[in-house]
Chain A
Amino acid sequence: MSVEHVNYLQPKTLQELQKGLKSLTEKSALLAGGTDLMVSIREKKPQIDTYLSLCNINEMKSITEIDGWIRIGAMVTHTEAALNNKIKTFFSALSMACDHVGSPQIRNKGTIGGNIMNANPAGDVLPCIMLFNGEFEIFNSEGSLRRISVNEFLSESGKTTLNKNELLMAIWLPIKPDKKSCFVKLGSRTEVTIAQISFCLSWKRINDEYLDIEAYIGAIDNKPLKIDEINEILGNRPFETESLDALSTFLSNKIRDIRINRKRESKLKIYEHEKLYKERAVKGVVYDAISFMKY
């Protein structure tokens, strides 16, 4: 890395942060944990003029409960999110997802905000935020804050809509105490694995009835996909083989359609039979995820 003409800013207050944001150019980089950024710098070797490091902004590091919402600062690490009792209680899917991002070293450094802003289709956090109908708190170089929905935050192609003088300050999740949730990911190994398919699910259980089931499937398209039909498919018998197979077939067809309609060839160098892997493997993901509804 060249030492010349590089600014390294590490603001401690929102005023300093605002000033820092104002000074950014197209060549600048916001630095959270660095677990994505350091890899891309190493691969692409861009000339960076300014690093704006977010690690000292207290407003971005806390998890708080406010008026029926949980506010999670963008600089909260995966380790902190996975261990947090409020997240465990009200948003198990997010806690489960964060508990399996990368390795312990990645979780100790990688942040919720960095994961969301990277907007990788295989990222584990965004499907959960969408499942819980979360909102995104955005801070800009004028020092103002606004909260936006996922539809405003993500473009059609799955990219984030923020400009270079804005950043993600926090995410807000509405607490629904009667809803339970879970997250399952399929990767090429059990630990330290990028999702081939991620699946998150929430439901309400009243006696033996399951209501209001919601689900998102990730890593199969450029952004997480809502499964609108899930209540209809599972009906009131989510554990019966017939229902599970119906959901598996439905998702398998969906993945196949996405594959067939994809205009751009996958960047991954994979064999023909590997392309069909997700369509077949989604059944295991469905069986795993639905089994969590028993508890």
Chain B
Amino acid sequence: MSRTVIPFGPQHPVLPEPIHLDLVLEDEKVVEAIPRIGYVHRGLELLVQKKDFKQYVFVAERICGICSFMHGMGYCCAIENIMDIKVPERADFLRTLWSELSRMHSHMLWLGLWADAFGFESLFMHSWRLREKILDIFEQTTGGRVIFSVCEIGGVKKDIDAETLKNISSKIDEIKKDALEFSKVFYKDKTVAVRTVDVGILTKEQAFALGAVGPMARGSGLSQDLRSTGYAAYGQVDFEPIFETDGDCYARTAVRIREFFQSADIIKQCIGKMPEGEIRQKVTGKPNGEYFMRLEQPRGEVLYYAKANGTDFLDRVRVRTPTFANIPAMLETLKNSQLADVPLLILTIDPCISCTER
């Protein structure tokens, strides 16, 4: 059968960010997808040679507008390990709390976009309405809705008082109740199932071989979650990595919905166990050495590499973001898919292109 190549992206209604795919089609069936990225490269890694190591925290946060807190935190943790700084326990708990709030709002954002991609407009609006409440908690505690600027080398800049913590706890309960109601639509609605069940299957072996991370890997039955390594305060809260075994879009949706509720639970645990004390440790001296830091972001594992030379300016920072790691898995799911499913299959990895290109 003759083949046609159609360009998909970089501008496409379903893509919030630019990625280009050349889709090789046989009739309506995709036989191959060839990706091209590089439309929003900002050179943020190189900036580390121009901004001093404390200023760079603000740059690291701007790598991504959704997991901005965890980017800042990943960089700070790497530098803290190089400099041998012990972060106060309360700061670790606050970092965990903000990380999980980020996960909640990121998953809610994705669920909304996901609903929008299969044409369920009102579900999209309800998801984003709920996400707004989480952003309000962020604004109340950090002063920012997207970029938080609270993480710093040696701890966090802002504390949350007991009253506000109680307040957050009850807000989380409300959000959970609301989310429970319409998350059932993703699970049970027939129109959703038609678009997601058995679409874009990635087997466990494929997920492993292609180095999939995050919900993409966990939806295929790989139970890997970096939070189990116990960085920040994760060692002190109870949780089990969530995974599903079907490997289709439905399974990945289920992983994210279940993780949303798990994050709410971790936040409640953090509030309950939050120790009193300092939130920041004074940083003296300059970093010298190198370190790899691995964190679990909403989209999967992020890897921060920092190399310092004893001056104010680092030699190198390298960030391997989860979307970058998930692109091979996405290409695999695109093979033999229908053209109409391509937008869904791109969205299923929860792509963040600005992260990927930095």
Q: Do A and B bind each other?
A: no
List B residues at the A interface (Cβ < 8 Å).
Answer: none
List A residues at the B interface (Cβ < 8 Å).
Answer: none
